[in-house]
Amino acid sequence: MASVLLVGIHDPDRRTVCSALEAAGHTVSDAPTRAFLRRVRERPVDLVLIDVSPLMHAVHLVGIAELRAQHPALPIIAASGGPDADMLLKIAVRAGATLALRKPVAPAQLREAVARCLAGGAPP
């Protein structure tokens, strides 16, 4: 179906995300946080899922803005959890994320969000 690039998503979340997306027929790959922009330029993908973590949020948020500028039509889903998640996700949307998901995200919710973004619209 689609190729999905994971950025900043580590185990155990990574295993859950991969299983959910592969079960829906998507191909999943990942890239290190500091190299994901180059990775998308070299091998285009259909969607990027990025974990806006509290420790790396500045890099992730700048990366979202740069990715949006370079690839205006590319769906970008930002996910975050913890006490600062709501603030980080609002900033991620302002930076260019198509959709923001608060973790933990149920596999069915993730599959639905990916499907809707790939179809051209973000879930309400």
User: Which CATH number characterizes residue 33's domain?
Assistant: 3.40.50.2300
- The total number of structural domains that make up the chain: 1
Share of the chain above pLDDT 90, in %: 78
pLDDT tens readout for residues 90-112: 999 999 999 999 999 999 999 99
Give domain status of residue 123, yes or no.
no
- Contacts of residue 99, defined as CB under 8 A and 6 or more positions apart, other chains included, come to 75, 76, 77, 78, 93, 113, 116, 117, 122, 123
Closest CA to 47 of 28, 61, 66: 28
Give domain status of residue 61, yes or no.
yes
pLDDT tens readout for residues 50-78: 999 876 767 888 899 999 999 999 999 99
